């Protein structure tokens, strides 16, 4: 027995009764190429001149969602609605979905759409039997800024490569930051929030701690100063709330409800002024999923479809090492049952090695007002399969809600280009409103687990305790000297430190580390392993 959601995902339930078939050879080719046998997402209908032909549906195979995709186009051409159309149908087909709501206009996916004669007529013209329905949605927010279940992670889990990107460090500074993380990992010093990282950097560049890194290269005081200044500015921008505990488990993004995938909608208006943080946090989520998920190969329904909005922000000023890791993630994560859709203005915003992995393309209109625009338009047209249409002329002429489409067929080949009138979302195209989001978050079972921040003992407290103990010992020594206490002559130092003395003065003689070792037991002293982007690899 199939669930209502599974029935809605079948080809028969997604397409309205066909109108009389079109007679053109192009229409027949498109109809055949996009008539997939398995579950499919209905994108719309082929445009025959200025009018959509409902007898020629343009579909996307659900099983091909993990071949990744690109939704591109100028501002106001319909990218967000195309995202909404794919996301809600993917959820009803049983795939969990993650979307980032940068401008606050995707939250309506949790609210049923409002019917109207105009909407019904528009849907019918595209071969769509429109019904008003919402998708099961969970609202999240970064660090509790705004409504939604807070998403946080620890500095240690975030890793040095991603941290270097949000701090805008150069390669030399990034390398030094990597040494600091290596030291913290190997010595069991927990970096939970930004004050932990700042305290550790200050310790390692102090007279007392600067020898700790010499064996593995060390860092200069100038480099440490740059990192600390960047960290201070980062904290002052309010980004400190994104780091801490309880750390979010990305497995929560894979939930389903009554046979439908849960849509995890990350509300991001509060971080609009920190685009680098937003994009890097999204990459952290993908890296976590890649590390944690088992291999599943190609499935009829992916585990997760991840929509990466404002994708150009991820690649802006990115180092070659960072880009290499993005390419590796995109290439390999599909075998974990995860599909990624990048949303941006033009394909040129995406590096070529990443673009080559994106088999499903929906290109909305681009405008060519400048020579650079014309160059971008020409490059965009060349990314599509050969077509009988002059795409350099077609793309600028597309209206709002129209797009050129090519997707991966079930045998892994690209479909012919289809000029498409995109269908209407079944959920609301208006923002849900703060009250709806707040009530949804309050009712979420995840709020009890992630709603309240926790400040556990970590590197900051440990190093602070050490400093206090050292200060107290120094005060006691000075007081003893001032009162003349202790008439026994002290043993005269030999002037040469023995290996035993050196060991005591090193890390194992550090009272802070001893305290940490006592409190954390056997897990400390074992180096944390890291993989993609230097993110922590849990054992």
Neighbour tally for 467: CB within 10 Å: 16
Class of domain 4-107+118-124+134-152+245-432: alpha beta
Dihedral over alpha carbons 191, 195, 199, 200 (to 10 degrees): 20
Give the integer Cα–Cα distance in Å for 490 and 477: 13
Whether the Cβ atoms of residue 96 and residue 261 lie closer than 8 Å to each other? yes
Neighbour tally for 24: CB within 10 Å: 13
Neighbour tally for 320: CB within 10 Å: 8
pLDDT averaged over consecutive 10-residue blocks of the chain (539 residues)? 41 40 78 94 94 96 96 95 97 96 88 93 93 95 85 94 91 92 88 94 84 77 93 87 93 94 87 74 90 90 94 83 88 95 93 94 94 91 90 95 96 94 96 90 93 90 83 82 63 45 44 42 52 73
Structure tokens of 12? Answer: 């028969």
Angle at which helices 194-204 and 171-186 pack, to 10 degrees? 100
Structure tokens of 221? Answer: 């005081």
- pLDDT at position 12 is 38
| CA-closest candidate to residue 69, choices 425, 406, 410, 419 | 406
- pLDDT at position 515 is 42
Phi, psi (deg, nearest 5) at residue 253: -75, -10
Cα–Cα distance list, 497 to 209, 493, 505 (Å): 18, 9, 10
| Terminal-to-terminal C-alpha distance of the chain | 39
- Per domain, the residue ranges of the chain are 4-107+118-124+134-152+245-432, 156-240+499-534
| CA-closest candidate to residue 56, choices 82, 19, 103 | 19
Neighbour tally for 410: CB within 10 Å: 13
Give the integer Cα–Cα distance in Å for 350 and 305: 19
């Amino acid at each position: 027995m199939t669930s209502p959601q599974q029935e809605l995902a079948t080809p028969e339930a997604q397409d309205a009764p066909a109108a009389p078939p079109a007679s053109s050879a192009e229409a027949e080719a498109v109809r055949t190429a996009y008539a997939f046998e398995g579950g499919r997402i209905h994108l719309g209908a082929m445009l025959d001149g200025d009018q959509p032909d409902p007898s020629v549906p343009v579909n996307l195979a659900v099983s091909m969602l993990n071949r990744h995709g690109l939704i591109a186009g100028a501002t106001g051409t319909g990218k967000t609605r195309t995202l909404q159309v794919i996301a809600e149908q993917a959820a009803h087909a049983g795939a969990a979905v993650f979307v980032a709501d940068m401008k606050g206009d995707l939250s309506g996916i949790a609210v049923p759409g409002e019917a109207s004669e105009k909407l019904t007529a528009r849907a019918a013209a595209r071969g769509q039997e429109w019904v008003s329905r919402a998708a099961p949605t969970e609202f999240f927010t970064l660090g509790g800024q705004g409504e939604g279940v807070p998403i946080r992670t620890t500095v240690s889990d975030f890793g040095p490569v991603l941290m270097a990107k949000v701090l805008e460090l150069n390669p030399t500074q990034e390398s030094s930051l990597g040494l600091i993380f290596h030291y913290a990992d190997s010595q069991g010093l927990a970096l939970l929030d930004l004050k932990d990282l700042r305290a550790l950097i200050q310790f390692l560049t102090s007279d007392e701690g600067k020898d700790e890194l010499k064996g593995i290269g060390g860092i200069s005081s100038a480099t440490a100063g740059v990192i600390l200044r960047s960290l201070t500015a980062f904290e002052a921008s309010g980004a400190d709330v994104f780091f801490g505990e309880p750390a979010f488990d990305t497995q929560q993004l894979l939930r389903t409800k009554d046979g439908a995938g849960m849509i995890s909608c990350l509300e991001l208006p509060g971080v609009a002024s920190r685009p680098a943080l937003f994009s890097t946090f999204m990459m952290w989520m993908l890296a976590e999923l890649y590390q944690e998920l088992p291999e599943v190969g190609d499935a009829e329904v992916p585990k997760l479809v991840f929509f990466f909005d404002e994708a150009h922000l991820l690649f802006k000023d990115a180092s070659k090492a960072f880009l290499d890791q993005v390419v590796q993630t995109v290439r390999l994560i599909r075998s974990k049952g995860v599909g990624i859709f990048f949303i941006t203005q033009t394909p040129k915003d995406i590096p070529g090695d990443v673009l080559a992995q994106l088999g499903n393309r929906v290109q909305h209109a681009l405008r060519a007002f400048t020579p650079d625009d014309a160059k971008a338009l020409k490059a965009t047209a060349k990314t599509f399969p050969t077509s009988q249409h002059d795409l350099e002329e077609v793309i600028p002429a597309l209206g709002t809600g129209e797009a050129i489409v090519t997707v991966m067929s079930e045998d892994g080949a690209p479909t012919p280009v289809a000029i498409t009138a995109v269908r209407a979302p079944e959920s609301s195209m208006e923002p849900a409103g703060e009250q709806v989001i707040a009530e949804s978050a309050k009712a979420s079972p995840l709020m009890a687990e992630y709603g309240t921040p926790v400040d556990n003992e970590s590197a900051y407290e440990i190093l602070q305790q050490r400093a206090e103990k050292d200060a107290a010992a120094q005060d006691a020594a000075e007081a003893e000297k001032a009162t003349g206490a202790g008439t026994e002559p002290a043993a005269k130092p030999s002037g040469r430190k023995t290996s035993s003395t050196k060991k005591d003065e090193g890390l194992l003689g550090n009272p802070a580390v001893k305290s940490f070792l006592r409190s954390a037991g056997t897990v400390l002293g074992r180096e944390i392993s890291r993989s993609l982007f230097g993110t922590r690899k849990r054992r």
